[in-house]
Amino acid sequence: MYLTWRNLKVGSIFANVTISSQNLQNFLKTKQHFDAVIVEICSSDYLIGFGQYFNAPVIGLSPYGATKWTNDLVGIQNFPSYVPNVHSQFTDRMNFWQRMYNSVSFWFEEIVAHYDYIPDQQKVMETLFPEAKNWPSLFELRKNVSLVLLNTHTTIGSPRPYAPNIIEVGGMQIKKEVNPLPPKIQKFLDEAKDGVIFVSFGSYILLSMLPKPQLDAIVGALGLYPNHRILIKDHGNVIIPSHNKNDVLIESWVDQQSILAHENTKLFVTHGGILSTTEAIYFGKPMVGISTLFDQHLNMFLAEQHGFAINVPIQSLTAGNIATAFTKVLSDPSYAEQAKITSDRFRDQPLTPLKTAIHWVKHVAKNKGAPHLKSVAVELPFYKLYNLDVWAFIFSVLALVIYCVIKLIRTIVSFFFKLFSQPKLKNA
């Protein structure tokens, strides 16, 4: 719950940095016409104001996939019984206490959003757009979002109910034909007789930046496979003592998709970001996850549940558990087999994710916001959405009936008691 509150606050901080951009201010002065506006839905609801400013339908893009925020925008009810909070380490199969925590976290998020986060975002929107003081509130503008694109796919997450205007497009960044690798990397991969272990923690985290105990544990686990070549994305000088110098390649930048597409890449050691997870699935590579923050924990625990990865969160990483993870994934063929099966499922789509996104964006623009896709649920107050007034009426009637029945029974019992007790009084 603390992570939820912190991330929402960080979103407001980033928002204030964004709106201070002179380039953004110059852009707003142009007053262009747009058929649709696409904004990120990630602690950045003030961006929805762009739709009002340009008088265009708003399309939200969620970098995580489905969350409470995206669900609320299209009127999908949140079921904490099997839909985990994006900041949790739970999957869709939770025990009683996990469901309890998950439920409380959703309630906490609702309260924080209503009384803290949305009001903060309202202020940011009014700073960016001074005329926003005369607009409907951000609470109302959120109800006008026409479409939400989710950067996920069922094979990555878990099945859940969607509205017609929420579309999975995970994998939009994946190229139909991967780029050729630089000769140096291509040769390194081609000559790896026993395969390559690829280590990359995305754009913001480097292996060399990790605390020494965790770094030493990972290096020790890599050392268990001296016959495998090691390719590491890093700016620093990471030393793998167990390996020959020619069997370790460290590059400051690599084309991740091209490396994952190579047949000699046998294991992907990753932070578990949604883009990396999607690419590993697409190219059918098993993973060892070292999740650090945000949605990475959820992504990797779901991958572990699906059988093509093992996750070792950075907070609990030790020499023992990371070595065990490497050993299991590399020695048990089921992980690679499941990765291939999941890849086939992911690829079995009528359109590519990018073409799917383009289709629905055009649909919204062509149909002036596509109101026919919107659920009335976004307009219903809380008590109507969950039928609280109906249940209150039912329980009131039921209580009244029970009261009347009890009253009737007491009256009948009292009547017969008096009836049968009177003769005894006379005989006495």
Q: Residues 138, 156: one domain? A: yes
CATH at 300: 3.40.50.2000
Instruction: Render pLDDT for 345-403 as a digit per residue (tens, 0 to 9).
Output: 999 999 999 999 999 999 999 999 999 999 999 999 889 988 999 999 999 999 999 99
Give yes or no: residues 189 and 322 share one domain. yes
**Mean local confidence (pLDDT), 332-350:** 96
- Please tell me the predicted confidence (pLDDT) of residue 83: 85
Top-confidence range, 14-18, 110-114, 143-147, 236-240: 143-147
The tens digit of pLDDT for each residue in 117-145 reads 899 999 999 999 999 999 999 999 999 99
Of all helices (H) and strands (E), which one includes residue 268?
A: strand 265-270
The model's confidence at residue 422, banded by pLDDT at 50, 70 and 90, is: low
Answer with the one of 347, 371, 399 that is the final residue of a domain.
Answer: 347
* Pairwise CA distance, residues 221 & 229, whole Å: 13
Does some domain include residue 178?
A: no
Amino acid 159: pLDDT: 83
- Does residue 236 share a domain with residue 304? yes
What separation in angstroms does the CA of 395 have from each of 405, 408, 424? 15, 19, 43
96-100 long-range contacts (CB < 8 A, ≥24 apart) are none
pLDDT at 178: 94
Asked if residue 177 belongs to a domain, the reply is no
Number of separate domains in the chain: 3
Backbone dihedral region of 24: left (phi > 0), alpha (psi from -120 to 50 degrees) or beta?
alpha
Task: Report if residue 159 sits inside a domain.
Answer: yes
**Percentage of the chain exceeding pLDDT 70:** 96
DSSP label of 179: P
Backbone angles phi, psi at 248, to 5 degrees: -125, 125
Instruction: Work out the average pLDDT over 181-200.
Output: 96
367 or 205: whose pLDDT is higher? Answer: 367
pLDDT of residue 7: 62
pLDDT grade for 3, boundaries at 50, 70 and 90: low
Return the closest-CA partner of residue 82 out of 66, 69, 59, 64: 66
Residue 245 has pLDDT above 60, yes or no: yes
Whether residue 257 is contained in a domain is answered as yes
Q: Do 7 and 125 reside in the same domain of the chain?
A: yes
Output the DSSP codes for 291-346.
--STTHHHHHHHHHHHTSEEE--GGG--HHHHHHHHHHHHH-HHHHHHHHHHHHHH
The mean pLDDT value of the chain amounts to 91
Together in a domain, 9 and 134: yes
Assess if residue 46 is contained within a domain: yes
Q: Is residue 421 part of a domain?
A: yes
Residue 21: count other Cβ atoms within 10 Å of its Cβ. Answer: 10
- CA 215 distance to own-chain centroid: 27
Same domain? For 396 and 253 the reply is no
Q: For the chain, how many residues are written?
A: 428
Distance CA 195, CA 188 (A): 10
Indicate whether 164 and 197 sit together in one domain: no
pTM of the shown model: 0.87
Q: Are residues 313 and 378 in the same domain?
A: no
- Do 121 and 223 lie in one domain? The reply is no
Provide the pLDDT confidence category of residue 417 given band limits of 50, 70 and 90: confident
Domain membership flag for residue 356: yes
Please report the pLDDT score of residue 5 as a whole number. 58
Alpha carbons 172 and 149: distance in angstroms, whole number: 11
pLDDT at 428 over 50: no
DSSP helix/strand/coil, 233 = strand
Q: Comparing 7 with 325, which gets the higher pLDDT?
A: 325
- The residue segments making up the domain with residue 399 are 387-428
Checking if the pLDDT of 179 tops 60, the result is: yes
According to the model, what pLDDT value does residue 157 have? 79
Q: What is the CATH number of the domain that holds 127?
A: 3.40.50
Evaluate if residue 427 carries a pLDDT over 60: no
